[in-house]
Amino acid sequence: MQSHSSPRLLQAAGVVFAIGIAAIVALFVTPLVTDGDTAPTFVYLLTMCAPLGFVLGIAFALRAGRRTR
């Protein structure tokens, strides 16, 4: 029997990963838009959401792939 938290973990992984990817895009676009200025510090911190979302996705896959005994 699967718990109801598994789809929530997948949704959380997707949201966190999307935030990280958006931050990575913003990191590269910011110097183009602001004539060479770097992105604010919080953008650099938000880029860490991409690997965190990836790890959450792997955790979901491992939990969902377990065989019920």
Give pLDDT, residue 67: 62
pLDDT in tens, 25-62: 999 999 999 988 898 999 999 999 999 999 999 999 98
pTM for the model stands at: 0.82
- Which helix (H) or strand (E) segment is 33 a member of? helix 5-33
Which tokens in the block code for residue 9? Answer: 């973990």
- Mean local confidence (pLDDT), 10-27: 96
Residue type, 58: I
Q: Indicate if the pLDDT at residue 1 is higher than 60.
A: no
What pLDDT, on the 0 to 100 scale, is given for residue 56?
A: 95
Backbone angles phi, psi at 36, to 5 degrees: 100, -5
In the chain, what are the domain boundaries?
A: 5-64
